[in-house]
Structure 1
């Protein structure tokens, strides 16, 4: 009986990339890393190279008409993944520019084969073969010879018992007709786009033979650590935003930390639900969110907060600061702009896993959208749906705040039309009573559960939110009719 061949997958050493590839790079595969100049091709290749290089896995890195090796290494050594001890020990650089200048492509192929045979590397990189195109424009060598060279190089690399990579500049129209894309086992496409004043880098796994990969475009960033990929959140076929749980039993409810509010919600917020807290400026959304986290901490349920509207020093109350210093609540750094939802989701999941958090606060959706790069605004609603599905799928309970203008002529729950994402909605509003503004709160929905239909007054005190009496004469407030001096 025949048995299937098992292909070993090599870790890339690039955070997030192995998830895109379906578990890593297939050993002995021939891969193409393509993209425009400056998109990060060489940095990605070096990060993979330094991750894999050791005494048992030697690496050959060929430079053609790109940067000289010394100049390239001068900049690459600024990244934390760079290891000077591996240069000339397990990593060898070979410059082919002199051979290529002679215009003899056969000589270049022969030189590459000779170096591979003598050095017996486990990984081979050729950077940047696509620049050969420019050399042919200044020589009598025909484009047919160039195409033959590229095809032969690709076929040669597929025949080696090495994991090989070709790096090159390609435009999308060229990719459709290039024969090298046919023989490649894997294709990684890197791009960078300007949207208004924001730079957004994206990566796509166009092809990876023999294994499932994450489809679509995924954002990545280049920092002092190198490249980090943020795989696009995908809703699993069997996943839903609200987990299928029994909400009638008390053990499945979690208290909000506001006395009286749990009773209005039918016994508390069902665990694993997403709650949308809506209200105008100053209505106490952040105060309620703080009580939600503090209640969790008191019950041994760590929490995480992602605050987008203010810096941590401006936002955090004394109570919340105490919880953070005690390690009961983690804070996601959202001060940098031009983020992607996938990047925020990555940071949230990392913090949730580290702290074993059970409660998450996003304060607020309005600030969240502003923190994103403009390119992501168009799909904010869809991306938010995927993020909530991913987090609730982990079993955490989410509280999201959303600021709205307080209008007396209509009743809205979200400026993004995203109220459907929430399993529960609480609305905070202002009303005028006897010549004074008063705050009122109501529970609009709790999916799968009965809840109070009352509108109740509340105050914000040093102790937090304190619920008051039920507002009895409120019909005119919601319909837009003059309210006069309401009596409670």
Structure 2
């Protein structure tokens, strides 16, 4: 389950290693409980990768959960840091007034460093005093490389960092240290990989004009941890790493039947869709996919149940007005708070940010049903793999929560319609309905075929259907012209 904090997750036991939960969504799961308690953790990455936010959230989550902390900033002014935190809903000033947080501005006068008149002993004395005053359990040392580079002496730089480490270990304070990583410049602080007990690497990549932040734990001394790269997003109130549990198989079983909104289709499906199932309607443009989906949505809303409609191709207004022609009134359900639209351009965000926003909507709205129209558009999030990643993780998440999903897929041509999803997801789909257009004797006929309906005795014949002023009407079995059309 996706949550604002991962502190309630269950982690494998790590014998002999005390952990300090970060409270950051998904990170504690990757670290098997949190950062090594009383130890030094390195967070490195290039500009814009989220180092300061990740470190600050570690301090913030601790402060609001009874573990006061200190932020020692070598780069930003204290007021700037506090103002930036407010954009994420973190009120550092309030926490300072409650003696749960202390933000120390450690911007050093370059002349004092270059003249040799500065060392860390005075700064450590200030930190020691503040730590005692608020009973600090956590410290973020943000951007000390700004100060260290002024020394222009690798031996001195290492000595200063060792002084920090020794003081922190003596005081048993869990510490996060952020260091910038520049292309071709990382070896300057390579020794930190060995000095620190835990190393977290952040980066940001751009593919097909879409940027994605990623996190990887390189080491966590004395503890197991997730070794993969994990995409993450910074959204609303902090870092969001999609929890590992969203990719594990913890699905609820298929439930009772729910009407598709079309009586004849329920009969052909062997009783309608199953609750907690994943269903797909695939076909070329103009075959009636959205109308069939909206018939289902209208039906469940009429029964007082909620639906979330993710639309990658049309605005809410366009869909609502378009459905008036077949007699489907979606606005009434929106006004009652039973239907919520989430229209968004696929290329506007990366996969992770799309998922974070949808998961948050699901938590807030708590729908029993989810529509995605259309999954073929998800390829515009980057490529076919990005589309696969998004849809698979969304389906798994919904199945864990008992949400019934209905997807549409725009096939490029009539024969691609038989490839079902276009992104290799057919094995996780419970029900597949194929829609086709067939021209015969100067008339365009719409056909419907149920290719798959898991654990159901369903129709295996093509049926004609029409979109009328009163919704979808499914007719009899189609034969004759179909075979001639297939041979062309």
Change (3 A) 1:11 1:133: closer
Contact 1:304-1:330 at 8 Å conserved across structures: yes
- The 5 Å alignment of 1:148-187 reads 148-170=159-181, 174=186, 178-187=190-199
Corresponding position of 1:413:
420
Deviation at residue 153 of structure 1 after TM alignment = 2.6
Whole-angstrom CA distance in 2 between matches of 1:159 and 1:75: 32
Deviation at residue 362 of structure 1 after TM alignment = 0.7
2:202 is the alignment partner of 1:190: yes
Equivalent of 1:38 in 48, 55, 67: 48
Contact 2:293-2:406 at 8 Å conserved across structures: yes
Change (3 A) 1:29 1:290: farther
Whole-angstrom CA distance in 1 between matches of 2:83 and 2:273: 56
> Could you say what secondary structure the match of 1:39 adopts?
coil
Deviation at residue 475 of structure 1 after TM alignment = 4.3
Change (3 A) 1:263 1:58: closer
Whole-angstrom CA distance in 1 between matches of 2:227 and 2:480: 55
Change (3 A) 1:456 1:314: same
> Could you say what secondary structure the match of 2:261 adopts?
coil
TM-score (norm 1): 0.81
Corresponding position of 2:333:
323
2:85 is the alignment partner of 1:81: no
2:217 is the alignment partner of 1:202: no
Equivalent of 1:135 in 147, 150, 160: 150
2:355 is the alignment partner of 1:345: yes
Contact 1:19-1:231 at 8 Å conserved across structures: no
Whole-angstrom CA distance in 2 between matches of 1:91 and 1:38: 24
> Could you say what secondary structure the match of 1:294 adopts?
helix
Corresponding position of 2:441:
434
Whole-angstrom CA distance in 2 between matches of 1:410 and 1:47: 47
TM-score (norm 2): 0.81
Corresponding position of 1:469:
476
Contact 2:77-2:105 at 8 Å conserved across structures: no
> Could you say what secondary structure the match of 2:181 adopts?
coil
2:73 is the alignment partner of 1:60: no
Change (3 A) 1:151 1:474: farther
Corresponding position of 1:447:
454
Contact 2:233-2:353 at 8 Å conserved across structures: no
- The 5 Å alignment of 1:325-404 reads 325-335=335-345, 337-370=347-380, 372=381, 374=382, 377-404=384-411
Whole-angstrom CA distance in 2 between matches of 1:338 and 1:108: 48
Change (3 A) 1:45 1:283: same
Over residues 95-126 of structure 1, what are the superposed CA-to-partner deviations in whole Å (9 max), with x where a residue is unaligned? 26248943699963423432233222332222
> Could you say what secondary structure the match of 2:155 adopts?
helix
Equivalent of 1:93 in 85, 97, 104: 104
Over residues 410-436 of structure 1, what are the superposed CA-to-partner deviations in whole Å (9 max), with x where a residue is unaligned? 843233243333122101111123211
Over residues 252-290 of structure 1, what are the superposed CA-to-partner deviations in whole Å (9 max), with x where a residue is unaligned? 322211121112112222332211101111211111111
Corresponding position of 1:484:
none
Deviation at residue 43 of structure 1 after TM alignment = 3.0
Change (3 A) 1:55 1:104: farther
Change (3 A) 1:210 1:176: farther
Contact 2:438-2:445 at 8 Å conserved across structures: yes
> Could you say what secondary structure the match of 2:331 adopts?
helix
Whole-angstrom CA distance in 2 between matches of 1:468 and 1:321: 29
Change (3 A) 1:474 1:106: farther
Contact 2:18-2:37 at 8 Å conserved across structures: yes
> Could you say what secondary structure the match of 2:330 adopts?
helix
Whole-angstrom CA distance in 2 between matches of 1:79 and 1:93: 20
Contact 1:96-1:108 at 8 Å conserved across structures: no
Whole-angstrom CA distance in 2 between matches of 1:17 and 1:189: 13
Deviation at residue 20 of structure 1 after TM alignment = 4.5
Whole-angstrom CA distance in 1 between matches of 2:459 and 2:344: 36
Corresponding position of 1:114:
125
RMSD: 3.5
Contact 2:143-2:178 at 8 Å conserved across structures: yes
Corresponding position of 1:230:
241
Deviation at residue 30 of structure 1 after TM alignment = 2.4
> Could you say what secondary structure the match of 2:419 adopts?
coil
Contact 2:213-2:232 at 8 Å conserved across structures: yes
